[in-house]
Amino acid sequence: MRKTYVLDGLSCADCAAKIEKAVRALEGVTSASVNLVTGTLRAEVTPRRAEGITERISAAVRGHEPGIAVTEEGAERREGGAEGGKAEAIRLIVGAAVFCAGLALTRPEGLPWYAAPAVFAASYLILGGDVVWRALRNIARGRVFDENFLMTAATIGAFIIGEYPEAAAVMLFYQTGELFQAKAVRRSKKSIAALMDIRPDSANLLKDGQIIKTAPDNVKSGDFIVVRPGEKVPLDGVVREGESMLDTAALTGESVPRRVSASDTVLSGCVNQNGVLSVEVTKTYGESTASKIIDLVENAASKKAPAEHFITKFARCYTPAVVIMAAMIAAVPPLLAGGLWRDWASRGLLFLVISCPCALVVSIPLSFFGGIGAASKKGVLVKGGNYLEALNNVGVVVFDKTGTLTKGVFEVTGLRPANGFTEGDVLRYAAAAEAFSDHPIALSISKAFGGEVDKASLTGYRETAGLGVSAEVGGVTVLAGSGKLMERAGIAYEEEEGAGTKVYVAAGGVWVGCVTISDEIKPDSRDAIRRLRAAGVRKTVMLTGDDARIASAVAGELGLDEAYGGLLPAQKVQMVEALGERKRRRELLAFVGDGINDAPVLARADVGVAMGGLGSDAAVEAADIVLMTDEPSRLAGAVGIARLTRRVVRQNIVFALGVKAAFLTLGAFGAATMWEAVFADVGVSLLAVLNAARIGGKD
């Protein structure tokens, strides 16, 4: 069973990783994942061990971060984040004032020798008392090597050797940096957390002529709801009465409202701007767009990029190593070569302050959070940092055609009768055969026919994926589909030339004629191909079940490198695997599709990209990235954000390690002061966090 907890006040990536590890180690917990973005903890709990699990999880969280309020999702929450932020700011101001008083007392003569040290000690306890307490508590629990231990050992050592101002200053600047880091983390989280606001609070259920306000979970498919101006659409459905403008920005990133009226589809999470809408619900809340987006956001942080895994492992080995090196710097030289113990101890303490890995531990995850947030602003949902990282290495992009590069809105543009049949006969037989199909081609034929089909007279309906349909119409076997269907049935036919999808129709074993159906290319598709090439994509390919000549015509118009038509779903998977075998060096392959039959290919590709606005639920579930606007050019924007994220991550790694390496060397040789050590720790951390935060602000 799954338990979800809200962690109010969580703003530290390193703390989140420690909490996750501690909860995972609890008896009865099979897995745990902390999401810094949403401030939530998800734990899979063995039912027979579930008793008292909330108390044990709360204790584990408080064991690492006492200031975090733990509340089970759905229960009354204790807001701790904002209050904690104010308390930290007040403590920082008071501690800084006492520190300044200590500096003032170092100058006047006639004061007792212990006056200034006492004031600095008071400042130290105000600013760093919690750090010392956490270090001692962690040591007692067997967790020695962390940033609390580094700061405590360095500052207490500074007091011992008489560096009172420096000891208090380390805590002052450390807490200042922590405060700014927390603010930067909260700012970067907003762009993603804003998506959580699409969660509907209630639904206006229309029942027996009365409007009942109820939870969205209580509304069933087929029920009618009323959406008033200013309210969020709580569930997916179809407008039956009314007309209004919908704000879809939360879902698609589009600032321009969309007009809806009777028969139009509306998605949960949109905001109704003016008119009153009566909506027939088509999906329960668990299956609705808003629910799925929220689930995507909540799970995004659990799928970490390789860089994040590297930093976690790096910090685990790095901290003990630098503690040992600091101890060796302080003890070995005086023993072997002589020299003042005080000087070498001071160098060892400087080494500890400089070595704190906060800059990397905090800024790297924050960079990926920022990248996911920037993508969400553009209507692109990335299911995890690993997929954002993977976009950097995509060299081959494979597209489906219908609904992806084309609008998927078909119209009958030509009728060619044969063997003495009329155009009316061709359309009538085709409409009868396609009567039970909801494929866009079938719907376009039914629309062109315009009349009513007597479905009671239809028997033996059968649909063959990628080929077409067959049915008994008044005792006559009617086939409608591709040329391959005619060949399989042994029916002689003539191939129709020209662009467009061809539906060949046969009745009673005789070819009746051909229906030509055209699909319009999305105006966004050309821009998508151009921008992907500019972003460094080497090859663009199109795979479609449509006729090979149509595929070739569309590919030529869009400037695609390759196009393959007449493919069944299994053949698409085979083509993707074949393309994958030809990828160069470390290139990855991305597949972009929207239909149910694209789900296997999306799952097989290195990076699966689904159209989320009109795409099927199966495609969205199978994909790694979802384009909420159904615009393929959004993928190019996501690639740009992925590239920026990688640049920032690399900048932070090089900058942090470079500065620390330089100052560690200077500190070991006695050429750095405690003030410079503080910059190498707090200053580098703050600059790295601010660099990461700029990704989330990218428009």
Which residues are marked as active site? 400
CB < 8 Å & 24+ apart, contacts of 496-500: 496/414, 496/416, 498/414, 499/549, 499/550, 499/553, 500/413, 500/414, 500/550
DSSP, collapsed to helix, strand or coil, labels residue 62 as helix
What angle is formed at CA 182 by the lines to CA 181 and CA 188, rounded to 5 degrees? 90
DSSP calls for 523-551: HHHHHHHHHHHHTT--EEEEE-SS-HHHH
Angle at 552 between CA 546 and CA 557, to 5 degrees: 115
Distance CA 569, CA 593 (A): 12
Q: Phi-psi region for residue 508, left (φ > 0), alpha (ψ -120 to 50) or beta?
A: left
H/E run at residue 694 = helix 684-696
Q: What is the spatial distance between Cα 568 and Cα 564, in angstroms, rounded to a whole number?
A: 11
CA 585, 366, 592, 464 torsion-angle sign: positive
- Report strand pairing: 40-45 vs 2-8: antiparallel
Alpha carbon distance 361, 509 (integer Å): 71
Cα separations in angstroms, 678 against 182, 346, 659, 667? 18, 14, 12, 12
Are the beta carbons of 299 and 624 closer than 8 angstroms? Answer: no
Token digits of residue 104: 């003032």
- 607-611 and 625-627 as β-strands: parallel, antiparallel, unpaired? parallel
What single string gives the DSSP state of each residue in 90-102? HHHHHHHHHHHHH
For residue 31, how many other CB atoms are within 10 A of its CB? 13
Q: Give every strand in the sheet of 2-8, ordered side by side.
A: 29-35, 40-45, 2-8, 69-72
Sign of the alpha-carbon dihedral angle for 118, 120, 123, 128: negative
| Nearest alpha-carbon partner for 358 in 24, 695, 687 | 687
CA 597 to chain centre: 24
Distance CA 197, CA 185 (A): 19
Q: Is the Cβ–Cβ distance between 231 and 272 less than 8 Å?
A: yes
User: Of 448, 441, 435, 451, which Cα lies nearest the Cα of 410?
Assistant: 441
- Angle at the Cα of 465 from the Cα atoms of 460 and 466, rounded to 5 degrees: 125
Q: Give the position of tokens 């209004």.
A: 244
Q: What does each C-alpha distance from 252 to 198, 285, 289, 537, 611 come to in angstroms? A: 12, 19, 12, 24, 11
Angle between helical axes of 115-140 and 164-193 (0-180°, round to 10): 50
Pairing of strands 607-611, 406-417: unpaired
Backbone angle region of 144, left / alpha / beta, with phi > 0 → left and psi within -120 to 50 → alpha? alpha
User: Which single residue is written with the structure tokens 């590919």?
Assistant: 555
